[in-house]
Amino acid sequence: MHKVLALVALCAASAAVGCGGSGSGNTDAARSYVAALNRAQGRFATTVTRLSQRVTPTSSAAKDRTTLRAFDGAVSRVVRDLQHIDPPQRVAGLHGRLVADLGAFGDELHSATKAIGSHDASRVRAAQRRLSAATARVSRQVVATIRAINRRLKA
């Protein structure tokens, strides 16, 4: 369980990578977008940092489940925050992808949280495997999307 929580924390940290947005193509809309995106990511990063400190080799299974539920809530909050941001047209598709990727991860995290809370060992192991795979996948997707947003905003 500790390994899964560490992976979730890593994914969440990847999702909190900020946008730069400076460049010759920068407009007021782009600057406002970057500021809003960085605010959402900053809140998310702060929460993830706090939650990550709860993941220790000596924490109980019950405490780990509580922490996993808190990660689930943090992902849901950042998805809602991102949905309320109005991106410039040139990055609207990429922003939509970012929201969708994090939303899909949130769904996986929510399912895993429920399964891990079931106390059924086979369901817990299966949920841990699915969550580990989802965490690795979304981490790569989010980093790639943020980089693409930065490139597009700098163009």
CATH at 15:
1.20.120
- Domain residues for the domain of 37 are 2-154
Number of structural domains the chain divides into: 1
Rounded-to-integer distance, Cα 45 and Cα 72, Å: 14
Question: Which of 77, 59, 66 is closest to 3 using CA atoms?
Answer: 59
Ordered mean pLDDT values, 10 residues apiece, the chain (155 residues)? 52 54 65 89 84 76 82 92 94 95 90 80 82 84 89 86
Rounded-to-integer distance, Cα 26 and Cα 31, Å: 7
Average pLDDT, the chain: 81
